[in-house]
Amino acid sequence: MNRKEFLSDCGKIGFAGVTLSLFPWLQSCSEKAKQEVQGEKARIGIIGTGSRGCFHIKHLVQMPNVEVVALCDNYRPHLEDAAQYYPQAKLYDDYRCLLEQRDVEGVIIATPLYLHASMTLDALSAGKRVFCEKSMGYTLDECLDVYNKRKETNGVLFIGQQRLFDPKYIKAMSMIHEGKIGEVVGVRNYWYRNNNWRRDVPSPELERHINWRLYSEYSRGLMTELACHQLQNGSWALGMLPEKVMGSGSLVHWNKVDERDVYDCVTAIFTYPNGVNMTFESIISNKHFGMGEQILGTNGTIDLVTGMYYSDEPAPKGSGMHQLVAQIESGVMSNSVFAGTSWAAESSPLAPGMPIMPNVKVVTGESTVGAEADGSKELLEAFIHATITGRQPEKVLEESYYATQFALLADKAMHQNQILTLDEKYKIPYQPLK
Amino acid sequence: MAFEFEHSAKNPLHPVSYLKMLAMHSRLEIVWTGQQEISAQDLAQKIHESMLSMEREFNRFSEKSPLSVVNLKASREEVCIGEDLFMALELCEAFRRGTRGYFDVATSTSCGRDMVSYTLNPKSHSVRFTAAEVNLDLGGFAKGFALERLRTLFTEQGVERALMNFGSSSILALGSHPYGEWWAVGVDHTKQHGIVAHEVHLRDGAMSVSGRNYKGEYHIVNPHTGASVAGEDLILVEGRSALVCEVLSTALYAAPKSERGAILSQYEGYHAKQIACGECGSVEIHEIG
């Protein structure tokens, strides 16, 4: 089931209104919104055509209402790779020149983290609609500057937090806000990989240019490149922002192999005003546990990554057949364990978990570029819609803003070995979804 | 024989009905969608009546059932039987021949290999055993037979989506789950209860599983030897007809590995797997044929 079918189905069974009020940025994904921009094209420039930039290009080429008219990268091989998709596009090695191209309406920025804020500020100042990869900025101040600039220019700004557009996350958060898992009492996030996180470097002088993620001069490492995605889960589920943040980070393995200086092992705890903790843990020298994002409630647990619901209640009496009734009532499909060699009285097995919606697409988190069916394409489509209409969807930027701010704050807590709170000056007038 | 019936219209797109009843010493459960409560209640009643009718006909433990009468008298005389039982015995004989004798409803007899246990007379609609001590047991046949009868009943009523589970071992699907492209059925791991050993996707199809029963007993008999088959693995058969699946899973379980492929090859569109479940939850699956 794709998002369109999901929303359509939600509408038919009567909670489309609730869903859209909880997730107002999805308005731009409706059929009505699509009709609004039918026949129109957004003229897009792409700044940064490396692995993530090309990942976006592969989605853009599938979108009929997009014309990529400009490409920019200061690393020629990446620029030439991208130009193969759009031979008519003008090529630049300086993004400021691209911003001067008048027919460019929107820009997609997929550059190293330390460049996000300056490029976004320049693009907004140039009157461009902007999609910038996460994280929003390299520092807390940069994020605030970018947020304020968007406000000042009344422009369009999207940050690449694709979970906001992933159907299984939307369904899960709807269920959580409806109270299906009871009171939320914990949030767990983890991301384990076992790879060096490196890109091939053709020449030693390009090491930092290409492997910028590994150097604190350009990136905050695991917190800004991975945690940022997952930290929005707590605010999303709890309807509040963390009160304090603590953490510990270290280099335990990969510094023995190369010269990197960002942590390859981190653990952070975010405590909310009601005492609930959200954790984030990442190690990139062991992948056994993979990627996980779990919302723990007094009645059960939702695993956001797998789209599964696990009830804390005893399994209902009767066979899996009877559980089918509940699934159909809820508009979901699940495997039901009931076939065997013969009828086993009432000793039905414990339910192994129930998918929260049909045909859940699960990504492993192993890819260092991006995964299909994780909301990235839908996020991009929403940005294209906003580029054409000039309308900024509600709350999507604020969700992204806080995801980055708390990732940065946790990184700071690790480096300072302190428990930190978000300074009042960084708080924007926004209440998380409730 | 009563039945439980539930109906829910909580999801107005797919009103769902559930029926549960005991029949032929097994539990029959059916979930179907698309009917309003009154129609669904009416269908549930029809299912109940149909199962009662089959129970009356095929239950060898009921002294008054036609099958019991046949078991009692057919070795001495021709016994006239009704349409359903006659057709069932015709089918059973066809399946016996079509499975090299590894499916045989007359297994508890003194008949030798390849010997016909009974003859049917279409003119008089009667059956006669070919030897003394023949005893017919339709237990390995009736669930599939009943499911096929229910398929007809549901189709007549215009129901397009249903999942029927007869005794856990015989499953029939009409259409698909309303929120998927199929009905997903997990085959229970024999050593680690609650673990799915294999998942089957059914859409307008059926499946049957044979192996040791839930008490761990080797309850399937090799018709050629009269001995219980001590196979540890499960045999899973998938295909269009619930009846053929049930017959084939029993026959393939009883047959030696060397003959399984040849038996299965006679049934186009049917697929079989041998599922080996390990103590630690491991699973090995081998295609048959």
pLDDT digits (tens, 9 = 90+) for B27-51: 899 999 999 999 999 999 999 999 9
**B2 against B85, higher pLDDT:** B85
- In chain B, which residues have their Cβ closer than 8 Å to the Cβ of A329? 8, 10-11, 16
Q: Are residues B150 and B194 in the same domain?
A: no
Tell me the C-alpha distance between B58 and B76, whole Å. Answer: 20
Whether B177 is in a domain gets the answer no
Place of tokens 């009432």: A346
Q: Please report which helix (H) or strand (E) contains residue A404, including its range.
A: helix A396-416
| Mean pLDDT of all residues in A215-240 | 95
Angle between helical axes of B139-156 and B242-254 (0-180°, round to 10): 160
pLDDT at B153: 96
pLDDT at A96: 98
Place of tokens 């249903």: B162
Backbone angles phi, psi at B273, to 5 degrees: -130, 150
pLDDT at B213: 63
Backbone angles phi, psi at B254, to 5 degrees: -75, -30
Whether B173 is in a domain gets the answer no
pLDDT at B152: 95
Whether B123 is in a domain gets the answer yes
Whether B98 is in a domain gets the answer yes
Whether B118 is in a domain gets the answer yes
DSSP-based three-state secondary structure for B114: coil
Please check whether residue A292 is in contact with residue A190, taking contact to mean a CB–CB distance below 8 angstroms: yes
DSSP-based three-state secondary structure for A202: coil
Summarize pLDDT for A366-380 with one digit per residue, the tens. Answer: 665 566 668 899 899
Q: Are residues B133 and B30 in the same domain?
A: no
Q: Return the beta strands (E) in A322-418 as ranges.
A: 336-339, 354-355
Query: Residue A345 pLDDT more than 90?
Result: no
- B18 to A325: CB separation less than 8 angstroms, yes or no: yes
Q: Are residues B267 and B214 in the same domain?
A: yes
CA distance to partner chain B, nearest, from residue A2 (Å):
12
CA distance to partner chain A, nearest, from residue B280 (Å):
17
DSSP-based three-state secondary structure for B276: strand
Place of tokens 């790779």: A81
**A254 against A26, higher pLDDT:** A254
Amino acid at the residue A9: D
Domains and CATH numbers, chain A: 3-164 (3.40.50.720), 181-364+394-426 (3.30.360.10)
Summarize pLDDT for A256-273 with one digit per residue, the tens. Answer: 999 999 999 999 999 999
Largest CA distance in chain B: 59
Please check whether residue B184 is in contact with residue A323, taking contact to mean a CB–CB distance below 8 angstroms: no
Summarize pLDDT for B255-278 with one digit per residue, the tens. Answer: 999 999 999 999 999 999 999 888
Summarize pLDDT for B55-112 with one digit per residue, the tens. Answer: 888 887 778 889 999 999 998 999 999 998 999 999 999 999 999 989 998 865 554 5
Please check whether residue B44 is in contact with residue B24, taking contact to mean a CB–CB distance below 8 angstroms: no
| Mean pLDDT of all residues in B150-174 | 94
**How many angstroms separate the Cα of B239 from the Cα of each of A154, B204, B248?**
61, 9, 10
Tell me the C-alpha distance between B189 and A178, whole Å. Answer: 35
Whether B51 is in a domain gets the answer yes
pLDDT at A41: 95
In percent, how much of chain A has pLDDT > 90?
Answer: 67
Enter the tokens of residue A188. 């767990």
pLDDT at A432: 63
Whether B157 is in a domain gets the answer yes
- Do you know the residue count of chain A? 434
- B209 to A341: CB separation less than 8 angstroms, yes or no: yes
Name which of A76-80, A282-286, A308-312, B216-220 the model is least confident about.
B216-220
Interface test with A, best of B31, B181, B199, B245 (most A CBs within 10 A): B31
Please check whether residue A309 is in contact with residue A301, taking contact to mean a CB–CB distance below 8 angstroms: yes
pLDDT at A371: 62
Tell me the C-alpha distance between B205 and A216, whole Å. Answer: 59
Amino acid at the residue A302: I
CA B14 to chain centre: 28
**At B1, is the pLDDT very low, low, confident or very high (cuts 50, 70, 90)?**
low
pLDDT at A313: 65
pLDDT at A85: 96
In percent, how much of chain B has pLDDT > 70?
Answer: 94
Closest CA to A278 of A246, A234, A223: A234
- B213 to A330: CB separation less than 8 angstroms, yes or no: no
**How many angstroms separate the Cα of A378 from the Cα of each of A56, A59, A164?**
11, 9, 9
| Mean pLDDT of all residues in A40-55 | 95
Tell me the C-alpha distance between B143 and B246, whole Å. Answer: 8
Q: Return the beta strands (E) in A201-358 as ranges.
A: 244-250, 265-271, 277-283, 291-297, 300-303, 308-311, 336-339, 354-355
Instruction: Indicate the residue of A328, A339, A350 with minimum beta-carbon distance to B185.
Output: A339
DSSP state, residue A399: H
Q: Strands A90-92 and A157-159, how do they pair?
A: unpaired
Give yes or no for a cis peptide into A135 (omega within 30° of 0).
Answer: yes
List residues in chain A touching B: CB distance below 8 A.
1, 9, 12-14, 318-322, 324-325, 327-345, 347, 349-350, 352, 357-359
**Which residues does B73 contact at the CB level (< 8 Å), separation at least 6?**
B79
Query: Residue A1 pLDDT more than 50?
Result: no
Q: Are residues B100 and B236 in the same domain?
A: no
Q: Are residues B31 and B72 in the same domain?
A: no
Please check whether residue B224 is in contact with residue B102, taking contact to mean a CB–CB distance below 8 angstroms: yes
CA distance to partner chain B, nearest, from residue A211 (Å):
42
Q: Are residues B234 and B284 in the same domain?
A: yes
- B168 to A343: CB separation less than 8 angstroms, yes or no: yes
| Mean pLDDT of all residues in A240-260 | 96
Residue range(s) defining the domain that contains residue B284: 186-289
The burial of B269, by beta-carbon neighbours within 10 Å (0-12 exposed, 13-18 middle, 19 or more buried), is given as exposed
Query: Residue A333 pLDDT more than 90?
Result: no
Instruction: Indicate the residue of A318, A321, A349 with minimum beta-carbon distance to B188.
Output: A349
Domain limit, last residue, from B98, B120, B137: B137
- In chain A, which residues have their Cβ closer than 8 Å to the Cβ of B234? 341
pLDDT at A337: 53
Enter the tokens of residue A140. 């807390």
Tell me the C-alpha distance between B147 and B242, whole Å. Answer: 6
Tell me the C-alpha distance between A233 and A224, whole Å. Answer: 15
Q: Are residues B155 and B107 in the same domain?
A: no
Tell me the C-alpha distance between A53 and A109, whole Å. Answer: 8
Please check whether residue A376 is in contact with residue A162, taking contact to mean a CB–CB distance below 8 angstroms: yes
Q: Are residues B51 and B147 in the same domain?
A: yes
**At B218, is the pLDDT very low, low, confident or very high (cuts 50, 70, 90)?**
low
Closest CA to A130 of A432, A400, A368: A400
Q: Are residues B211 and B131 in the same domain?
A: no
Name which of A44-48, A213-217, B181-185 the model is least confident about.
B181-185
**Which residues does B65 contact at the CB level (< 8 Å), separation at least 6?**
B56, B57, B58, B59
Q: Are residues B197 and B285 in the same domain?
A: yes
Summarize pLDDT for A143-200 with one digit per residue, the tens. Answer: 999 999 999 999 999 999 999 988 889 989 989 998 989 999 999 999 999 999 999 9
| Mean pLDDT of all residues in A229-258 | 95
Tell me the C-alpha distance between B136 and B58, whole Å. Answer: 10
**At B282, is the pLDDT very low, low, confident or very high (cuts 50, 70, 90)?**
confident
Please check whether residue A199 is in contact with residue A205, taking contact to mean a CB–CB distance below 8 angstroms: no
Whether B256 is in a domain gets the answer yes
Give chain A's mean pLDDT: 87
Q: Are residues B203 and B274 in the same domain?
A: yes
- In chain B, which residues have their Cβ closer than 8 Å to the Cβ of A344? 168, 214
Q: Are residues B161 and B216 in the same domain?
A: no
Domain count, chain B: 3
pLDDT at B148: 95
Query: Residue A12 pLDDT more than 60?
Result: no
CA distance to partner chain A, nearest, from residue B181 (Å):
9
Number of CB pairs < 8 Å for A and B? Answer: 136
Summarize pLDDT for A102-159 with one digit per residue, the tens. Answer: 999 999 999 999 999 999 999 999 999 999 999 999 999 999 999 999 999 999 999 9
pLDDT at A374: 80
Please check whether residue B125 is in contact with residue B81, taking contact to mean a CB–CB distance below 8 angstroms: yes
Query: Residue A14 pLDDT more than 90?
Result: no
| Mean pLDDT of all residues in B160-174 | 93
Taking the CA atoms of residue A228, residue A229, residue A232 and residue A236 in that order, the dihedral angle to the nearest 10 degrees is: 180
